[in-house]
Structure 1
Amino acid sequence: RTDRTFTSITKVMAFIHQLLLSNRTTTTREVYYVFVTHFRNQKECDGTILDVAKILNVPRRALGLSASPKGELEGRSVYMEISCLVNGFADDGVEIKVTSKDAKVIVVIEKEGVYNKLSEERIFDDFPCILVTGKGFPDLATRALVNTLHKELDIPVVGICDSNPFGISVLALYYCAGERMGVDGRMKYTVPMMWIGLRPSTVESLEDDLPKDVFQSLTDLDYKRIDSLLDEDNLFLNEERYEEIVKMKESGKKVELEALYWLGSDYMSNWV
């Protein structure tokens, strides 16, 4: 494994060296396809790129690399003023100034389908909010966007996700950067997010109102993820969240956000 990691790092470093010499930029997707016979998947390639950035103690963008856009945003009267440098990279990245006349909260949604439903219902017309989704685990750009919105508008951030270990892990990623993130992670792309649901305690209170079919049994992989979430070094944890995750583990059950639609097509928006 060590030999393979070393080989991966040297390949990516050589690619980046040539990229910068030619004064070009590209996406992490291109790096993967250049070495498609070496890397097992995009995730392994992305991990190597993060390793290189950490070794060199620079943010990923200084390597001339960016991820393909992933996140989406929609909501209450959001205006962005973007200042871009013609050459090079600013130490703090691209400057974005955000204004909103009346947004009161940023709602981060784990799942694209739920985000689309709430957007179509125009929940923000009655509830002054900004909706954001990273379509599952968020990329750096989406995390940076949420961080910028939070700081510039000075409004709270709340998160909704499936009542399962991986949904909670998505919100935890917004909340705190992993050690592997290096400089990119330390540039405060994290936000003090409140977890409003779907909590195991909420699922418990709705148990008599939902059909048994929506309750799924936790898998071995789920239990491993729960143990990881309950690790004392997990910065996302506080006493309340710890108790919620323990409640999920003890119940042995998980429920997806979409289960709330059983209670009515508008139940989700009213619940939020």
Structure 2
Amino acid sequence: MEDLCNLSMRFFSDKNLCYADIPTPNEVRARIEVAVLNFLKILNSPDPAISDLPLIKRSSSNRHVSQGLLTNFSWIFLSNSICTRSLMRTNAARAFVRVWKVMEMCLQILVQEKRVTQRELFYKLLCSSPDYFTSQLQVNRTIQDVVALLRCSRYSLGIMASSRGVVAGRLLLQEPDQKVVDCTECGSSGYAISGDLNLLDKLVMKTDARYIIVVEKHAIFQRLAEDGVFNHIPSIIITAKGYPDIATRFLLHRMSRAFPELPILALVDWNPAGLAILCTFKFGSIAMGLEAYRYACNVKWLGLRGDDLQLVPDQCLVQLKPRDLQIAKSLMSLEVLQENYREELASMVRSGQRAEIEALYLHGFDYLGKYIAKKIVQGNYI
């Protein structure tokens, strides 16, 4: 996995990029120990001072888009702009301490050769350092601080991804020393995607599919799987059951590398949140900081889109909420957002309405498969 990701970095036009690599556990331990030694060295100096922790800034102002030299596709990266955590500033002092607490915990995890989820890590820190950790959000942000400080992926720190994702369709999967799983036989529940990225990286995958279909909602995934759509449209169907988790994005990214000839098509609601989900799969996420590029792949927008609204009765259109408008504003600020996506987004905002995939059931519960097939035959995806 490390070789593939590092190799991919050589094919970007801008080399002034910051990203997290995947060092071995011993290398990560060494980075933590060096950070501690440098800190102690400062404290033991003749003129001791508390130094700042230099972290790559993860705000949108430090967002950078880089295009591959051999493709027109772009990814989101972070540039070299720095922010700090310091004991000398009241508003940053607790965040400064949290970084050391999480690094200490990660060192214990690596020494014990364990892996934990972010949720497990939260409860461990809540018990050991209740004065500094009172919410899951604090833990999640501090993990990203540690990633930004050590320049290594969270998985390298022993932190495992929680997964909600499932996959079905024309895909054979084999874990090390396990039997082959035929995803056409997993029923409407699909094959549960493991949160262990190391295991996902070692999966042996085979397919005779011609498309990969990313579905926003679990209920839509279940309908398509139950109808056996992948038998009529040779395809693999995958969902993260809403906003994409890391494990589902990682597996999709792996499939895009293993089967580069297969178009990846997204079926999402016609609203800002649906487009945000698509863009997270397609470009990466600023929230992932230095790891954003590692999970991105070239996803095309199959539907719902503005030209599908003729299929949706007026009574099924729903008014946009303030949260929708906030998401739309955030998406509009993405320089990587292509023009036809901007036009769709502007159309949503102008209309003040949104449409959900389920509205197509007006035409029958088996209509979704026909809808997808028609759009694929027409090449109607962007």
When normalised by structure 2's length, the TM-score is: 0.62
- SS, match of residue 224 in structure 1: helix
- Distance, in Å, in 2 between the alignment partners of 1:178 and 1:159 is 17
Task: Summarize deviations over 1:98-155 as a string: whole Å, max 9, x none.
Answer: 211x200000001111101111111011110000001111112111111111221221
Task: Summarize deviations over 1:53-82 as a string: whole Å, max 9, x none.
Answer: 222111111111102232110001x12344
Q: Which amino acid aligns with 2:121?
A: V
Question: Is contact 1:105-1:128 (8 Å) kept?
Answer: yes
Q: Which amino acid aligns with 1:80?
A: L
Identify the residue that residue 245 of structure 2 maps to in structure 1.
139
Fraction of identical pairs, as percent: 31
- SS, match of residue 70 in structure 1: coil
Identify the residue that residue 9 of structure 1 maps to in structure 2.
99
CA RMSD of aligned residues (A): 2.5
What are the equivalent positions in structure 2 for 1:101-180 lying under 5 Å apart? 102-154=208-260, 155-180=262-287
Q: Which amino acid aligns with 1:254?
A: R
- Distance, in Å, in 2 between the alignment partners of 1:127 and 1:28 is 37
Question: Is contact 1:163-1:197 (8 Å) kept?
Answer: yes
- Distance, in Å, in 1 between the alignment partners of 2:226 and 2:148 is 41
Structure 1 moving runs of 4+ over 4 Å: 36-41, 81-84
Alignment of 1:79 onto 2:151: no
- Greater shift after overlay, 2-11 or 121-130? 2-11
Count of residue pairs brought into register by the alignment: 259
- Greater shift after overlay, 30-39 or 102-111? 30-39
Question: Is contact 1:166-1:225 (8 Å) kept?
Answer: yes
- Distance, in Å, in 1 between the alignment partners of 2:321 and 2:256 is 35
What are the equivalent positions in structure 2 for 1:176-215 lying under 5 Å apart? 176-187=283-294, 189-203=295-309, 205-207=310-312, 210-212=313-315, 214-215=316-317
When normalised by structure 1's length, the TM-score is: 0.86
- Greater shift after overlay, 10-19 or 108-117? 10-19
- Distance, in Å, in 2 between the alignment partners of 1:68 and 1:131 is 20
Question: Is contact 1:201-1:247 (8 Å) kept?
Answer: no
Within the candidate set 331, 348, 352, 1:248 is matched to: 348
Q: Which amino acid aligns with 1:253?
A: Q
Alignment of 1:266 onto 2:366: yes
Q: Which amino acid aligns with 1:263?
A: H
Question: Is contact 1:57-1:182 (8 Å) kept?
Answer: no
- Distance, in Å, in 2 between the alignment partners of 1:232 and 1:133 is 24
Query: Could you say if the C-alpha distance between residues 32 and 182 of structure 1 is closer, same or farther in structure 2, counting changes exceeding 3 Å?
Result: same
Query: Could you say if the C-alpha distance between residues 251 and 4 of structure 1 is closer, same or farther in structure 2, counting changes exceeding 3 Å?
Result: farther
Unaligned runs of 5+ in 2: 1-90, 178-195, 373-382
Question: Is contact 2:201-2:254 (8 Å) kept?
Answer: no
Within the candidate set 308, 322, 327, 1:225 is matched to: 327
Task: Summarize deviations over 1:13-39 as a string: whole Å, max 9, x none.
Answer: 221122223332222220122234555
Larger radius of gyration: 2
Query: Could you say if the C-alpha distance between residues 44 and 104 of structure 1 is closer, same or farther in structure 2, counting changes exceeding 3 Å?
Result: farther
